[in-house]
DNA sequence: AACTACATTTTTGTATACAATATTTGAAAA
DNA sequence: TTTTCAAATATTGTATACAAAAATGTAGTT
C-alpha cells in the first residue's frame, strides 16, 4: 500500500534504493516508461552505478504498490491494464477522491483552503497560457493539496498512489488547449462545492443518510 | 499498495518469497507479531531455511504496503501507531469500506448476495456459540465477501490491505461473547441497508447530491 | 521459406561475501 | 554502584557468485 511519512524524518539521505524508486516512479507517471514495458535489472544497475541488489529492492517495492507487476521467472514490467481493468481503476480512484473531498469539506480549514486556491490559480494561469508542461505540474499540485487538506495521510497516500498508477493513462488526455481549460474549470466547480457555505452540512447530511449506517456498522468490526 | 490478481494464475507455485510474505502477514494480523516488534532477518532466513535475500524481498514488499516500517540502518519493524494515527487509519478504512458498500448496493448481483448472506450466517452461528476463533474467520470472510462483491478488485485490494493493517488492533476488541453478538448484529444492519429495495436509488440519490459533482469534476482530471 | 530441435546466451532467483554502521559488552573512572 | 568510553560483536545494506529457467540463435529438415 502506501508508505506514509517517509518525509518529515530529519535529513534523511535518500538511500540509493529510494532514489531509484523515485526515479522510476517519475518515469512511469510521465509515461516515459510505457505500460507493458520490461525493466532490465542489469541495465538499471549500470545506469545508477550500483549492483542489482538495490535495484531489485526498489522494483520489489514498486511491484508491491502495483505500479509494476512481476511475472514469475520472467521479470518485472510496467503495469498494463485492459480497458475493463482501467475502468475499475478509475472507478476506485474516483471513489477515493470523492472520499477525500468529503473529508476536506467536513474539516474545512483556512490554511488548507488558501493552499488549494493558490494551486488552482496556478492551474488557471498555465491553462490560459496553454503551457501544457506547466499545467501538468499545477494540476498535480492541486490534487495533492486536496489530499493533504484531508489531514489524513493514510487516505492521502492511497489517493496519491492511484494517481501515480493512472499517470501514464491520464497523460495523453491533455493534448489541446481546450482540454487544459476544461480541466481547470472543472476544478473550480469542485472548489465551489467543497467550500460552499452549506457544504459541511450537506456533507454531513449525505453521510447520515446512508453512509452513516454503513460506517456505524463497520465501525464495530 | 495492492497486488491484485495474484491468484487466478494457473498453478502458481508460491515462490519462496510469497510464502514468507504470507506467513508474516498471517502472524502480523493475528497479533502474534506485536506492533513495534523488530524482525530479525537472519532468524527468519534460518526459520524458512533460505538465505537473507528472499527474506529481505518479502520484508521490502510488506514495508511498501505499510504493514511493516523500515527505519534507516536499524531494521524492519511491525508498524506501530499513535492514537492519532490509529484514528486516521480507521477513518480511512471506514471511508473505503463505505465506498465498497455503496458500490455493492449499486451493482446488486444475486450470486454475490448469496455469498455475503452465507458468510453472515456463519458469523451469526459462531457468535452464538461463542466460538471466538471461528468468529474471527467468519467475520473476515464476511468482509472479504463484500469487497469481492464490488466487482472491483482494486478497491477491494485497498480495503483488504487496511484490514490487514488494522488486524492487530482490532483483534483484542473481540473478548466477550457479547462483543461477538453485537458485531454480528451490526452486520445485519449493514446488509439490510445494502439490500433494501430502494438502496440502489438511495445510493444514486446520495451520489447525485454532492458526490456526483465531485466525481464529475474529478473525472476530467 | 517455414518449422522443429538443440545448443548458446541472458536473465532471474537465491546464496554467499564483505564493508559500513549499530548495538552490546566490559573495563576503568567517578 | 553508576557512568563513560572503547573494543568486540551483530546487523544492515550492497556487491558478487552461481544454479536454474527463459529467451535467443543456429542448423537441419521438410
Q: Where are the domains of chain B?
A: 17-78, 83-219
Q: Does the distance separating the beta carbons of B94 and A215 come in below 8 Å? A: yes
Expressed in percent and rounded to 5, the helix, strand and coil fractions of chain A are 70, 5, 25
Number of residues that this document lists for chain B: 221
- Residue A177 parent element (H or E): helix A177-195
Exposure string over A190-204, b if 16+ CB within 10 A, otherwise e: bbebbeeeebeebbe
In percent, how much of chain B has pLDDT > 90?
Answer: 44
Instruction: Give contacts of B66 with chain A, Cβ < 8 Å.
Output: 1-4, 157
Point out the residue among B3, B143, B216 whose CB comes nearest to the CB of A64. Answer: B3
Amino acid A83 CA to nucleotide C1 C1' distance, rounded Å? 38
Vertex A37: Cα angle to A33 and A41 (nearest 5): 90
pLDDT of residue A171: 65
What are the DSSP calls for A146-157, one per residue? HHHHTT-HHHHH
CA distance linking residue B19 with residue B16, whole number of Å: 5
Q: Could you tell me which residues come within 8 angstroms of residue A150 by beta carbon, excluding any fewer than 6 positions away?
A: A100, A103, A104, A107, A156
Which CATH code of 3.30.429.10, 1.10.10.10, 1.10.240.10, 3.30.365.10 fits the domain covering B17-78? 1.10.10.10
Q: What is the pLDDT of residue A199?
A: 52
Closest CA to B160 of B8, B33, B5: B5
Confidence of residue B158 (pLDDT cuts 50, 70, 90): very high
- ipTM of the complex model: 0.79
Q: Indicate yes or no: strand C within 7 A of the C-beta of A58.
A: no
**How far is C-alpha A10 from the geometric centre of its chain's CA atoms?**
24
Task: Give the bridge partners for B71, in sequence order.
Answer: B75
Rg from Cα positions in chain B? 19
Dump pLDDT digits (tens) for A100-149.
887 887 787 888 889 999 999 999 999 999 898 899 899 999 999 999 99
Reading the block at residue B25, the C-alpha cell is 502477514
pLDDT band at B58 (very low <50, low <70, confident <90, very high): very high
pLDDT tens readout for residues A47-106: 999 999 999 999 999 999 999 999 999 999 999 888 788 888 888 888 888 788 878 877
**Quick one: B178 exposed, middle or buried, by C-beta within 10 A (0-12, 13-18, 19+)?**
exposed
CA B55 / C1′ C15 distance in Å = 12
Closest-approach nucleotide to residue A53, Cα vs C1': D14
Indicate the class that CATH gives domain B83-219.
mainly alpha
C-alpha–C-alpha distance, residues B42 and A150, integer Å: 40
Average confidence (pLDDT) over A175-187: 82
- From the list B157, B193, B214, the residue facing A213 with the nearest CB is B193
Report the pLDDT value the prediction gives residue A64, as an integer from 0 to 100: 93
- pLDDT for B197: 57
What per-residue confidence (pLDDT) applies to A209?
39
Mean of pLDDT over chain A:
81
Do B218 and A89 lie within an 8 Å CB cutoff?
no
CA B213, B214, B217, B218 torsion-angle sign? negative
Residue A29 has pLDDT above 70, yes or no: yes
Mean predicted confidence (pLDDT) in B74-92: 88
Contact present, B44 and B51 (Cβ < 8 Å)? no
pLDDT at residue A153 tops 80: yes
Query: Taking 90 as the threshold, does the pLDDT of residue A168 lie above it?
Result: no
End-to-end CA separation in angstroms for chain B: 21
CA distances from B174 to B25, B94, B125, B158 (A): 20, 18, 15, 24
What are the distances in angstroms from CA B89 to CA B70, B74, B138, B211?
A: 19, 25, 23, 22
Q: Does nucleic acid strand D have an atom less than 7 angstroms from the CB of B40?
A: yes
User: Can you give the distance from the CA of residue A170 to the C1' of nucleotide D23 in angstroms?
Assistant: 33
List CB contacts (< 8 A) between A182 and chain B. 220
Rounded distance between C-alpha atoms, residue A177 and residue A132, angstroms? 8
pLDDT of residue B6: 33
For B41, the grid coordinates are 532477518
- What was the pLDDT predicted at A1? 43
User: Is residue A100 within 8 Å of residue A155, measured between CB atoms?
Assistant: yes
Amino acid at each position: 500500500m502506501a508508505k506514509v511519512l517517509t518525509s518529515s524524518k530529519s535529513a534523511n539521505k535518500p538511500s540509493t534504493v529510494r532514489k531509484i524508486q523515485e526515479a522510476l516512479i517519475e518515469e512511469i507517471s510521465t509515461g516515459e516508461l510505457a505500460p507493458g514495458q520490461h525493466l532490465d535489472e542489469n541495465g538499471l544497475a549500470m545506469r545508477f552505478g550500483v549492483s542489482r541488489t538495490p535495484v531489485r529492492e526498489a522494483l520489489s517495492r514498486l511491484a508491491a504498490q502495483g505500479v509494476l507487476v512481476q511475472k514469475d521467472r520472467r521479470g518485472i514490467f510496467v503495469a498494463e491494464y485492459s480497458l475493463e481493468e482501467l475502468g475499475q481503476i478509475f472507478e476506485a480512484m474516483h471513489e477515493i477522491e470523492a472520499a477525500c473531498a468529503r473529508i476536506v469539506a467536513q474539516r474545512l480549514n483556512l490554511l488548507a483552503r488558501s493552499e488549494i486556491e493558490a494551486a488552482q490559480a496556478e492551474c488557471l494561469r498555465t491553462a490560459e497560457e496553454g503551457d501544457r508542461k506547466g499545467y501538468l505540474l499545477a494540476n498535480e499540485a492541486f490534487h495533492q493539496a486536496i489530499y493533504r487538506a484531508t489531514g489524513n495521510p493514510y487516505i492521502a497516500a492511497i489517493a496519491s498512489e492511484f494517481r501515480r498508477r493512472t499517470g501514464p493513462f491520464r497523460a495523453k488526455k491533455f493534448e489541446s488547449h481546450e482540454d487544459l481549460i476544461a480541466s481547470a474549470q472543472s476544478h473550480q466547480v469542485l472548489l465551489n462545492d467543497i467550500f460552499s457555505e452549506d457544504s459541511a452540512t450537506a456533507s454531513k447530511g449525505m453521510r447520515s443518510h446512508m453512509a452513516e449506517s454503513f460506517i456505524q456498522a463497520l465501525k464495530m468490526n
